[in-house]
Amino acid sequence: MAEQNNLYKQHPPHGGNYEIRVRGHVDPCWSEWFEGMALRLTDEGDTLLSGYIQDQAGLQSILNKIYRLNLPLLSVNITESGNCS
C-alpha cells in the first residue's frame, strides 16, 4: 500500500504544474498553441514550457504538438501537484 501511495505522489492522476524542456528555441508567440504554457528560451538553446496542465489528456495533447513540430523532447517534470491559484 505504501508503494502505491508513493507512486500516486510521483504521478498524480489529476492536474499539476509541469516543466517540459525541448531542444531548440520556440518563439513565445506559440504559447497559446501550447495550451497557454509559458515559454522561456534558455542559454543552452532549449525551450522550457511551464504551467498548469489539467490532466493526463492535456499533457498528451502538448506532447503530441511537440512531436508534430519535430522538436526533440529532453525532459518532462512535475514541479507541483494541485491547482494553480
* Joined grid coordinates for residue 67: 512531436
Task: Please give the residue range of the domain that contains residue 24.
Answer: 2-80
CA dihedral 64, 67, 69, 75 (to 10 degrees): 100
Query: Domains in the chain: how many in total?
Result: 1
CA 20 – CA 50 distance, rounded (Å): 6
The reply to whether 73 falls in a domain is yes
pLDDT value for 84: 46
- Say what the pTM is: 0.77
The reply to whether 61 falls in a domain is yes
pLDDT digits (tens, 9 = 90+) for 42-57: 999 999 999 999 999 9
pLDDT digits (tens, 9 = 90+) for 11-33: 556 789 999 999 999 998 888 99
